[in-house]
Amino acid sequence: MSEMLDTQSAWLAEAELESARDRLPIVYIDAVPVRVDASGQVTEVGLLLRVLPDGSISRAVVSGRVLYGERVRDALLRHLEKDLGSMALPSIPATPAPFTVVEYFPDPEVTGFHDPRQHAVSLAFIVPVNGDCAPSQDALDLIWVTPAEAVSVGFQSQMSGGQDRLVRMALAHCGVLS
């Protein structure tokens, strides 16, 4: 039997992380939390409110690093619980597959997905959530909006770093946008 990953010892010290960010792409997950009806149609999208490293505030999806030795499925569960709370009850298949791969760059002109700290490669998932959600840890707030509201100018303008495009891509992948 394999042992569970010790996430505490898998973290890099801050100086080591900065050094790695300067030299390597870092693997991330992005998870677009959704609520679905009985037929599986997306009815709501969950958007977090966070403080970014530069001090600005932005709407975002669940996101975070994949730790060394951590399965992608476990990273998804860890970040969903960290941002949405332990009662979120996400539905993640046994073998999750991303709907797209997004590359974030320090230069916003490269792909339109921007992270000023690093080059990050993110596996992006759409995750149905069935339980009660409450923002936790780094998230200041969580709101559930309809797909039409999520892609409205009002909400799209509250997102940065390409998160607005990611939400649009997720909803298009679900067949919600025409």
Q: Please, which pLDDT band fits residue 11 given cuts at 50, 70 and 90?
A: low
pLDDT at 147 exceeding the cut of 50: yes
Residue-level pLDDT at 22: 67
Residue 46: Cβ within 10 Å count: 24
Reported pTM: 0.87
Domains and CATH numbers, the chain: 23-173 (3.90.79.10)
Please report, rounded to a whole number, the percentage of residues in the chain having pLDDT higher than 90. Answer: 72
DSSP per residue, 7-67: HHHHSPPHHHHHHHHHHS-EEEEEEEEEEE-TTS-EEEEEEEEEE-TTS-EEEE-EEEEPP
Nearest to 81 by CA among 5, 135, 24, 153: 135
Structure tokens at 63: 């996101």
